[in-house]
Chain A
Amino acid sequence: MQENRSPIMDRIAEANKAATTGIDAKDIKDWITIYIMGKAYTVPADLTILTAMEYAGYKFVRGVGCRQGFCGACATVFRKKGDYKLQTGMACQTRAEDGMYLVQIPFSPAEKAEYDITKEPYEASVFIKYYPEVTRCVSCNTCTKACPQDLEVMDYIQAAIRGAFDSLSEVSFDCIQCGLCAIRCPAEIVQYNVAQLGRRMYGRYGQGVPEHLRKRVKEIAEGKFKQDMEKIIKCSTEELRKIYTEREKEPE
């Protein structure tokens, strides 16, 4: 697809070079001003919030992870110039814009309830038992608006209140646990932990064991992969690396 690359992608690539390879400032054409925790920085245009902050000199130990939008570590909060809305996103997936006020949220303080799902009855009350604060939800929908994964967070919290394991699991499935919902919630609910409890219960009791899994477990028990495993165990690191890079991959 190289030949169809849009000019904007080229500009992004060029700007990214500034942060990644440290090219000379005089070679960069477009600049923007962003405000990191109130202090103004001039950075190349078209960087993501994460790379813009790195260009400005911030080094992240927390608040950064996979840089691909999957891990949920780089939660970010910002306001755009001339806009009253407090917005949220993943710093590695959101473009820095001129006049943006921003800050990284390295961690959302939250207590995770301790439970043993093998001992919990598969009943609606499990949510209220471990997270009674779900009943403080005012249906304001702020969590949904804050979710960088565009999940209907409020809807799954409502499902938790009435113990609907199936719809909670379905709606919350793509949660990356970034914590932005919990940071914004006026009822102080920790949505992602509630969802995790629900999905665990649903996975164990509600969904049942899928047929392909049952089949594969049986095959393993019958020793179908025993020979292959023994071969792998005996491999040297070099041989393992070769097997790994040449493995069959699912089509992208």
Chain B
Amino acid sequence: MTTTKTETPKLTGTENIKIPYYPGCTLKTTAKNFENSAVAAARALGIELLEIPRWNCCGTVFSLTDDDLIHHVASVRNFIRVQEMNDYGLVKNENRLVTLCAMCFNTLKSTNLRVKNNAEDLKKINDLMYREENYGGKVEVLHFLELLKSLGFEKIRDRVKKPLKGLKIAPYYGCMILRPQEIGIDDPEDPTIQRDLLLSLGADSVDTPYKRVCCGSYQTVKEKNIVAELAYDILSHARKEGAEAMATVCPLCAFNLDHRQKEVKASHSDFEEIPVFYVTQLMAIAFALENECYGFDQNYVDPRPLLASKSLIK
């Protein structure tokens, strides 16, 4: 299976770079630990994630009907904010927009692709937002993992102060950074980007075929038992392969795999809890950053006993 990969400019040296960063709503609330750990880890690597002023919710899912434009307005408005950051000199000639949340990434990138490929759609959206400056189609949407990859995992390995030795982590990718193909950042059937990152942090990466199987996504609102069944499959397979914890980059996957373990336990007596990390929390530990950025109190299954057993935290 071949994949279309985004060309990302190589970062040079260890110089400080400032890059527009789109957080998304959930990173300000239930996934605050994702944001805090990522911003701190990025800083340790010389990357400043500069929050986009006046950003708005992207809509979290890309509207799939051909005639619908109104649901793309939200994403395009954020691209205009990136333009403004350049206009006002907050960043210099930096049209890349970095996201952490996998759902925001998918929505923003899909919208960008649609309006870049369709001048008529873009004109209509620009006309609707006549109070804003026009979006010129120059923004590039990147996921944080792509940024790390462009930096080079060997550079990340150099920064590690406390290798995650003996920690067996199953990377879980979910859907939104893999599919559809023109949006995905890795092979949709056999992604490896999180594995490479985990290995550079000194952890053991546990491979399972469930790494790219959907967690049920927004079905968690109406059908949480369906989600609990999917979570049971994903988590128990990882356990069977020897994983001690999971790693993810999606706050909805994290919610479904971590917080819904309450429902999983209720329906499966054999189920054993397993911690779910944001991969950036693991970076923060390996970089020996300050404890405050870990945010483990927001994790449903407390990962601290596991980390303590590996002498990674006190």
A–B contact (CB under 8 angstroms): yes
The smallest C-beta distance from B69 to any residue of chain A, in angstroms, reads 10
Chain A residues with CB below 8 A from B56, complex form: 137, 139, 154-155, 158
B71-79, B250-258, B263-271 - interface stretch: B71-79
Does B131 lie within 8 Å of A138, measured CB to CB?
Answer: no
The answer to whether residues A138 and B71 also contact, given A158-B56, A161-B57 and a CB cut-off of 8 A, is yes
B59 is an interface residue with CB less than 8 A from chain A: yes
The smallest C-beta distance from B25 to any residue of chain A, in angstroms, reads 4
B124 is an interface residue with CB less than 8 A from chain A: no
Number of A-B contacts (CB under 8 A): 42
The smallest C-beta distance from B264 to any residue of chain A, in angstroms, reads 23
- Chain A 123-149 interface mask (CB, 8 Å, partner B; 1/0): 111000000000101111100010000
Does B28 lie within 8 Å of A162, measured CB to CB?
Answer: yes
A163 is an interface residue with CB less than 8 A from chain B: yes
The CA of A162 and the CA of B101, in the complex, are separated in Å by 14
B29 is an interface residue with CB less than 8 A from chain A: yes
Chain A residues with CB below 8 A from B55, complex form: 158
- Chain A 174-210 interface mask (CB, 8 Å, partner B; 1/0): 0000000000001000000000000000000000000
- Chain B 93-132 interface mask (CB, 8 Å, partner A; 1/0): 0000000000000000000000000000000000011010
The CA of A135 and the CA of B28, in the complex, are separated in Å by 15
Q: Tell which of B25, B28, B54, B59 touches A138, judged by Cβ atoms closer than 8 Å.
A: B59
A164 is an interface residue with CB less than 8 A from chain B: yes
The smallest C-beta distance from B53 to any residue of chain A, in angstroms, reads 11
The CA of A125 and the CA of B29, in the complex, are separated in Å by 8
A163 nearest in chain B by CB position:
B29
Query: Which B residues fall within an 8 A CB radius of A?
Result: 25, 28-29, 54-57, 59, 70-71, 73-74, 77, 128-129, 131
Does B74 lie within 8 Å of A124, measured CB to CB?
Answer: no
Q: Tell which of A139, A161, A163, A186 touches B77, judged by Cβ atoms closer than 8 Å.
A: A139
Chain A residues with CB below 8 A from B57, complex form: 135, 137, 139, 158, 161-162
Does A138 lie within 8 Å of B29, measured CB to CB?
Answer: no
Chain B residues with CB below 8 A from A135, complex form: 57
Apart from A137-B57, A139-B57, A161-B25, 13 more pairs, CB < 8 Å: A124-B29, A135-B57, A137-B56, A138-B70, A140-B73, A140-B128, A141-B129, A155-B56, A158-B57, A162-B28, A162-B29, A162-B57, A163-B29
Does B28 lie within 8 Å of A124, measured CB to CB?
Answer: yes
The CA of A164 and the CA of B71, in the complex, are separated in Å by 23
The smallest C-beta distance from A65 to any residue of chain B, in angstroms, reads 29
Does A155 lie within 8 Å of B70, measured CB to CB?
Answer: no
Chain A residues with CB below 8 A from B54, complex form: 155
Q: Tell which of A125, A145, A162, A186 touches B70, judged by Cβ atoms closer than 8 Å.
A: A186
Query: Which A residues fall within an 8 A CB radius of B?
Result: 123-125, 135, 137-141, 145, 154-155, 158, 161-164, 186
Most buried by B among A141, A155, A161, A164: A141
The CA of A135 and the CA of B221, in the complex, are separated in Å by 13
The CA of A158 and the CA of B59, in the complex, are separated in Å by 11
19 CB < 8 A contacts A-B = A124-B28, A137-B56, A138-B59, A138-B73, A139-B74, A139-B77, A140-B70, A140-B128, A141-B77, A141-B131, A145-B131, A155-B56, A158-B57, A161-B25, A162-B25, A162-B57, A163-B28, A163-B29, A164-B28
Chain A residues with CB below 8 A from B71, complex form: 138
Chain B residues with CB below 8 A from A138, complex form: 59, 70-71, 73-74
The CA of A137 and the CA of B70, in the complex, are separated in Å by 11
The CA of A137 and the CA of B131, in the complex, are separated in Å by 18
Chain A residues with CB below 8 A from B70, complex form: 138, 140, 186
The smallest C-beta distance from A243 to any residue of chain B, in angstroms, reads 49
The CA of A186 and the CA of B29, in the complex, are separated in Å by 26
B75 nearest in chain A by CB position:
A139
